[in-house]
Amino acid sequence: MDLNTLWFALIGVLFVGFFFLEGFDYGVGILLPFLGKNDIERRMIINTIGPVWDGNEVWMLTAGGAMFAAFPHWYATLFSGFYIALVLMLLALISRAVSFEFRSKIDNLRWRRLWDWTIFFGSAIPALLWGVAMANLVRGVPIDAEMNYVGGFFNLLNPYALIAGLASLTVFTLHGANFLTLKLGGELSDRARNVAARVWRGATLLLLAFAFGTYFMTDVQHRLGLDPGVVPMVAVIALFATRWTISNRRDGWSFILTSVSVVFSTVTLFIALFPRVMVSSLDPAWSLTIYNASSSPYTLKVMSIVAGLLVPVVLVYQAWSYWIFRQRITAESHLEY
């Protein structure tokens, strides 16, 4: 494996970690105004992700930094072409972060409801746009011979990408509901399980539609062969199996299965891309690859050494933080974060 392939794989791992962790994070935010019937319940729901939500977003920042350093042409084309969508996502994430901090500053019901709905939109918009963005990378966007995006914003809103966006939105919502069944106690946990059972149908149908769209509307079939491929099949089967675990109150397995579905769906997209990083819909020869979009071999070598030293430390610290805050949150034990 050369360094170009290694860094493509590492960026893929960062996105896998981000969607796995931030996926249930977004799901909790989406469910907040609907699942919590009063201010105490909504505070408890927020507290399930209070100690970890900002750490989850570090995976996205790290992926973006790695993309900028390892594949600067990919970074430049992606961020210039997807500029409006990324600005919308950034504004949503900023409002979401502000909401977590401002919500409890004033003891007023209307004030807190305002920020609860801001958390909802700040979670739902990125959950939708990430699916749209990732699907467009695989399907292809207008890129010319100079590696410039020459399309417009509405080029990104094609049927395949919108199905992917709705799939990511609903799967993340299901992932968040399963997370809440593990982190909350009593009636709230039961309520989260009931929501998961209702969301499951839509999430499964949309993921299945996205899987079929990926197979027939992209060139992934040439990369996986005539066989649909084990990786995407695992993602779909895991989501189908979640219905049984939810019905039988196997909450831990429900969360594991939605995690498997998120992880394998993301891996499928990176398999479909490799060795490209952005597909040109104008001419396949103009696609950005891990070679024509990369930094120099020396840069990749230095980055590999730094990543090898620091990444394990970050992983250990985040695992430790989840272990420290592993207890369920109940009406008697919840604290302000």
- In the prediction, which pLDDT does 193 show? 95
Domain ranges within the chain, ordered by starting residue: 3-324
- In the prediction, which pLDDT does 226 show? 44
- In the prediction, which pLDDT does 229 show? 66
- At residue 71, what are phi and psi to the nearest 5 degrees? -135, 75
Reported as a single tens digit per residue, the pLDDT across 175-210 is: 999 999 999 988 899 999 999 999 999 999 999 999
Closest by Cα among 77, 83, 85 to 143: 77
Angstrom distance (rounded) from CA 273 to CA 278: 7
- In the prediction, which pLDDT does 8 show? 95
- In the prediction, which pLDDT does 105 show? 86
SS3 annotation, the chain: CCHHHHHHHHHHHHHHHHHHHHHHHHHHHHHHHHHCCCHHHHHHHHHHHCCCHHHHHHHHHHHHHHHHHHCHHHHHHHHHHCHHHHHHHHHHHHHHHHHHHHCCCCCCHHHHHHHHHHHHHHHHHHHHHHHHHHHHHHHCECECCCCCECCCHHHHCCHHHHHHHHHHHHHHHHHHHHHHHHHECCHHHHHHHHHHHHHHHHHHHHHHHHHHHHHHHCCHHHHHCCCCCHHHHHHHHHHHHHHHHHHCCCHHHHHHHHHHHHHHHHHHHHHHHCCEEECECCCHHHCEECCCCCCCHHHHHHHHHHHHHHHHHHHHHHHHHHHHCCCCECCCCCCCC
- In the prediction, which pLDDT does 195 show? 95
* 333: number of Cβ within 10 Å: 11
- In the prediction, which pLDDT does 223 show? 57
Q: Which residues of the chain have pLDDT under 70?
A: 220-229, 332-337
- In the prediction, which pLDDT does 228 show? 52
**Sign of CA pseudo-dihedral 120, 153, 10, 268:** positive
Reported as a single tens digit per residue, the pLDDT across 223-248 is: 555 445 678 888 989 999 999 999 99
- In the prediction, which pLDDT does 337 show? 43
Q: Which residue has the tokens 């060139």?
A: 219
Helix axes 159-183, 251-273, angle to 10 degrees: 150
- In the prediction, which pLDDT does 194 show? 94
